[in-house]
Amino acid sequence: MCGIVGYVGNQGNCVRVLIDGLKRLEYRGYDSAGIAYFNDGKVNLVKESGKLENLSNVIDVEKKSNLGIGHTRWATHGKADKCNAHPHKIGKFTIVHNGIIENYNVLKNKLIEKGYNFSSETDTEVICALLDYLYKTDKDILKCIRKLNEILDGSYALGIMCDDNPDELYAVKKNSPLIIGINDGENYIASDVPAILDKTKKHIVLEDKDYAKITKDTVNVYHDGKEKRVDVKSFEFDASSIDKQGYDHFMLKEIHEQPDVFKKTTNPYLSEDLDGLIEKMPDFSKYSKIRIIACGSATHAGLIGKQMIERYANVETLVDTASEFRYNKQFLNDDELVIVVSQSGETADTLEALKIAKKNGNDTLGIINEKGSSIAREAKIVLYTEAGKEIAVATTKAYSAQVAMLSLIALNISYSKNLVNKKEIAEILKDAKSLPTHMEELLQNEEVYKEIANQIKEYNDVFFIGRSLDYALAMEGSLKLKEISYTHSEAYAAGELKHGTISLIEEGTPVVAIVTDDNVASKTISNIKEVKSRGANVIYITNRNDEEDQTFYDSKIMVPKVNDLFSPLLTVIPLQMIAYELAKLKGCNIDKPKNLAKSVTVE
């Protein structure tokens, strides 16, 4: 989603720093970009629609400047054109903004009455006018920013420049992340770590409604009119994660990282026995119910988690989509554990759902990839997945790390309740050990995935079917395909087909049928036969050696048979790879699909 970078220093290289920073935020998804910088005491504003390249082409990076702000915009209010691109300037204030101002219309009308004119459709321009208006009556910028916090509803991370103070950069945030990067003789603001990672590791994380005045040598953070003591932290970040390292796309690189991610995520808990699961994790066996809340692929990981927890730990587990949960009537039991799952730790709906659960008094657990993110800070307990930085918008390695962590939680409860016996434990540990090798084997089948992608590329609709665990996987496979190859697809519970969807099956319609879950395998195979007999081209993904009947599918991808707890981590690889190969064949922008953002910080 939108990205912010800001700089104040003394080297005169502000323009270059801003453009470099924005490049590093490109992966978040955006549709226009712009920068504002002081040059000879005057604000210069340059913005362009489309890719950052369009902006770089019209900017002189050698232009001398010591202070500026930059932005990549993912359109919310008003179309993705140059006029709506950030920064916006009204009166003395130039601003970049991530988030959504919910009361901007009311404010806009009031400001029009006061004589302000607006040229864009954005909510951000309203903030510029409001700040300018407040500043006219009180020349203390910090007081004015504090007032903004009282007036604005919604979410915002703001980088602010004032015409009167060309040496001072201002920042404020609520429900949208913003950090301040610290260095000798120069300081930064950024909405996301990569923007400034090559410049400094030292940073301050702003809390909601914190605001700051930043000069090249000083950073002062305030909350509610009082200066605040802040911790300066250091990023732990592997710079190789923002390099493709020879792969054509970040997505492919990240798919190939899954064996390693599995080891990193599970090794601390799975050693010679399962003791690590109860020593290094809290005991989750005291809860009578578990609720998993997330968005997108993280919800799909949650659906697998539900199957695992219910099967292995015998605890009822509900899964909610955060954007629905937050506005539904809620029935949270007091002894219910609420698990929020998020790669970025910044997804607005998931964060809000977490706050609701906390307010209700529930224990909350965050399964998070981004260390120190908003959700990680808000949750009572945090278990970090060790996927490393994920750059491709379509999640792959972070999704599988979430699935792995949920399996560990199922096992934690099961072990602590004595529901697994010694033999099962030995088998589970053996499978965990062999999993990375099996993943590697599946990653070798590139030609097979290419061939399937070739078969389905002429079709406008693809169906993914499965039951139970396999249905949850079907949803993830279908989302991946839609997201990056722009091919319409539906995931269906195989047993539901004949209640409507089967009418769409025609000669050649691609149906990806997943059968790995023994509990329901024979039932799903009957459903596959139903689509096959209506002309479907069945791509069968399975871990079964059912050689005796080869009549119900057209192509078969074998995945190694392992314990249910880890099996989805294998099955998902062909699904990810088919989506990847199809997107490649269709010439799509695989790492940055259109209209999408990596981190969805607005609801």
Nearer to ligand M6R, 141 or 398 (CB): 398
Q: Which is nearer to ligand M6R, 95 or 577 (CB)?
A: 577
Sign of the four-CA dihedral 41, 42, 44, 45: positive
Nearer to ligand M6R, 70 or 194 (CB): 194
Burial of 424 per CB tally in 10 Å (0-12, 13-18, 19+): middle
Task: Based on the shown chain and the rule CB under 6 A, indicate whether residue 193 belongs to the binding site for ligand M6R.
Answer: no
d(CA 176, CA 191): 8
Contacting ligand M6R (CB under 6 A), which of 123, 386, 483, 603?
483
CB of 270 to ligand M6R, least distance (A): 24
What phi and psi, each to the nearest 5 degrees, are found at residue 338? Answer: -100, 120
Nearer to ligand M6R by Cβ, of 49 and 175: the residue is 175
350 lies in the binding site for ligand M6R (CB under 6 A): yes
Tell me the backbone φ, ψ of residue 482, rounded to 5 degrees: -60, -50
Q: Which stretch binds ligand M6R (CB under 6 A): 107-115, 291-299, 328-336, 550-558?
A: 291-299
| Three-state secondary-structure class, residue 302 | helix
Tell me, what amino acid is at 244? K
Q: Which stretch binds ligand M6R (CB under 6 A): 75-83, 244-252, 255-263, 336-344?
A: 336-344
Cα 546 from Cα 562, distance rounded (Å): 16
Q: How far is the CB of 582 from ligand M6R (least distance, A)?
A: 15
Over the window 97 to 136, marking each residue x when it contacts ligand M6R by CB under 6 A and - when it does not, the resulting string is ----------------------------------------
Cβ atoms of 502 and 528 closer than 8 Å: no
Closest contact distance (angstroms) between CB of 295 and ligand M6R is 4
Q: How many residues are recorded in the chain?
A: 603
Active site residues: 2, 598
If you ran DSSP here, which 8-state letter would residue 241 be given? G
C-beta closer to ligand M6R: residue 411 or 600 = 600
Q: Note whether 323 binds ligand M6R by CB under 6 A.
A: no
How many residues belong to the site for ligand M6R (CB under 6 A)?
16
CA distance 312 to 415: 9
Greatest pairwise CA separation for the chain in angstroms:
84
Strand partners for 210: 223
**576 near ligand M6R (CB under 6 A):** no
Q: Which stretch binds ligand M6R (CB under 6 A): 33-41, 91-99, 340-348, 521-529?
A: 340-348
Could you tell me which stretch among 36-44, 69-77, 217-225, 343-351 binds ligand M6R (CB under 6 A)? 343-351
Please identify which residue in 99, 296, 372, 477 interacts with ligand M6R, judged by CB under 6 A.
Answer: 296
The sheet with strand 169-174 has its strands ordered as 88-90, 93-98, 156-162, 169-174, 210-214, 219-223, 226-227
Please, what is the minimum distance in Å from the beta carbon of residue 214 to ligand M6R? 28
**498 vs 120, 393, 494, CA distance in Å?**
50, 34, 9
Q: Does 600 bind ligand M6R (CB under 6 A)?
A: yes
Measured from the CB atom, the residue of 401 and 570 that comes closer to ligand M6R is 401
The 364-393 contact track toward ligand M6R, x by CB under 6 A, reads -----------------------------x
CB of 299 to ligand M6R, least distance (A): 8
ω into 87 cis (within 30 of 0):
yes
Binding ligand M6R (rule: CB under 6 A), the pick from 265, 344, 527, 543 is 344
Least Cα distance to 262 among 476, 518, 565, 543 occurs for 565
Mention every residue, 6+ apart, whose C-beta is less than 8 A from residue 426.
none
Which is nearer to ligand M6R, 66 or 347 (by Cβ)?
Answer: 347
Give the residue with the Cβ less far from ligand M6R, 3 or 296. 296
Verify binding: residue 407, ligand M6R, rule CB under 6 A: no
Query: What angle in degrees, to the nearest 10, is found between the helix axes of 397-416 and 258-266?
Result: 30
Residues 347, 322: contact at Cβ < 8 Å? yes
Q: Which of 49, 122, 258, 342 binds ligand M6R (CB under 6 A)?
A: 342
Residue from 298, 367, 410, 579 touching ligand M6R (CB under 6 A): that is: 298
Name which position in 49, 65, 265, 395 contacts ligand M6R (CB under 6 A).
Answer: 395
Report if residue 321 touches ligand M6R, rule: CB under 6 A: no
Report the DSSP beta bridge partners of residue 42.
39
Q: Which residue in the block uniquely carries the two structure tokens 């009957």? A: 526
Q: Considering the complex, state which of residue 130 and residue 298 has its C-beta at the smaller distance from ligand M6R.
A: 298
Does position 599 bind ligand M6R by CB under 6 A?
A: yes
Pairing assessment for the beta strands 179-183 and 202-205 based on DSSP bridges: antiparallel
Place of tokens 């730990």: 313
In the three-class reduction of DSSP (H, G, I as helix; E, B as strand; rest coil), residue 387 is classed as coil
Both tokens assigned to 98? 């991530």
Select from 101-109, 339-347, 412-420, 570-578 the region that touches ligand M6R (CB under 6 A).
Answer: 339-347
Q: In what order do the strands lie in the sheet with 336-342?
A: 316-321, 289-294, 336-342, 363-368, 381-384
Which residue has its beta carbon closest to ligand M6R?
296
- Does 347 interact with ligand M6R (rule: CB under 6 A)? yes
Tokens of 240: 């190789």
By beta-carbon proximity to ligand M6R, the closer residue of 166 and 296 is 296
Q: Which amino acid is at 54?
A: N
| 295 interacts with ligand M6R by CB under 6 A | yes
Note the residues at the interface with ligand M6R (CB under 6 A): 295-298, 342-344, 347, 350, 393-395, 479, 483, 599-600
